[in-house]
Amino acid sequence: MMSRSIHTTHKDLKKLNKGEIDEQFNDPNSDLAALAKKSSLKKQVSKKRKKI
């Protein structure tokens, strides 16, 4: 099984100001979108493990 590793952390967003974060919110290829995807994948995996 291949890893679904996403190498983006909250540290990547710490240096951004509010305007830059707002820009990333609308961009589907941004670090913010990658963090959202990572979060949803982690939730899906943990739910799947609990069912087993």
33 falls within a domain: yes
38 falls within a domain: yes
pLDDT tens-digit profile of 2-49? 456 667 778 878 888 999 999 999 999 998 998 899 899 989 999 999
- Sign of the Cα torsion 2, 35, 25, 14 reads negative
At residue 15, the pLDDT reads: 87
Task: Count the domains in the chain.
Answer: 1
7 falls within a domain: no
2 falls within a domain: no
Please check the confidence at residue 1 and state whether its pLDDT lies above 60.
Answer: no
At residue 3, the pLDDT reads: 58
34 falls within a domain: yes
Tokens found for residue 32: 């913010």
At residue 14, the pLDDT reads: 87
| Segments forming the whole domain that contains residue 32 | 18-51
pTM: 0.68
At residue 12, the pLDDT reads: 76
In our burial notation (b when 16+ CB lie closer than 10 A, e otherwise), range 19-40 reads eeeeebeeeeebbbebbeebee
